[in-house]
Amino acid sequence: PCQMYLITGISDKLAQQVAAQSIITTMMSGILIGSYAAATIIGNFTMIVGILFAFTGGIFVAKMGAKKSTTVWSWVSIAVAIVTVIFCAILGPKDMKAIGVFGIPMIIYALLQLANTGTKMILTTTSSAMRADIVDYEYARTGKYLPAVISGVYNFLDKLITSLASTIAAFCITFIGYKNTVPQMGDPATTGVFWMTMFLMFGLPVIGWLCNIVAMKFYELNKEKMVEVQKTVAEMKAKAEANENAEA
């Protein structure tokens, strides 16, 4: 279970870190949309409202368990990303600047970004719940309480992935002509810039979510299993307390 958890966490983290690189946001906001101000307003709106989805994620985890929640919301995230790419493709490299001024394209794009941010928030919540489930499972299985070990391994890999994100982004843009320079606002909105931006901002996350779905096929800690684990943990704690009282 810990290995499957690491796969889901790392694949999602890598995609998010690459998409958040400044050169990629420049390509989307500065070149394709052509307005940092509009992109910032949309981003702030989706982030503030998207935080509410974290609470929704907690409700889903409570009802379905971390495993099923991760699978369901990974599929939803994939669907939202595909719809967003289709919408941007309909506009095309030249007409994406319509998103930069108030109107129907901006509203549609903002709603899609809101859905994108919301599903990511829910998956973040399920990831936290999954970590807690693994800690309880290891305690029930071995009698060892290992939250620091699991967190330490994840944080180490997280730092490694974060350091690789900028390298991956820089390497990818070399394929569209940015070998000695970096993307800047005002650069031509070419087909290469458009599709590379779509790949790095939405394609990589889709690959990460597919990794989630595959990993959950081998993740055994479903809701029913965790009910058994919680019973075992409760019995172990009760037994430990009884022994302490007897010694006292």
Distance CA 74, CA 218 (A): 16
Distance CA 8, CA 133 (A): 15
Q: Is the pLDDT of residue 104 over 90?
A: yes
Please give the model's pTM, rounded to 2 decimal places: 0.88
175-214 tens-digit pLDDT: 998 888 888 888 899 999 999 999 999 999 999 999 999 9
Question: Quick one: pLDDT at residue 248?
Answer: 60
Cβ atoms of residues 10 and 157 within 8 Å:
yes
Q: Is the pLDDT of residue 55 over 90?
A: no
136-160 tens-digit pLDDT: 999 888 888 888 888 888 888 878 8
Percentage of the chain surpassing pLDDT 70? 99
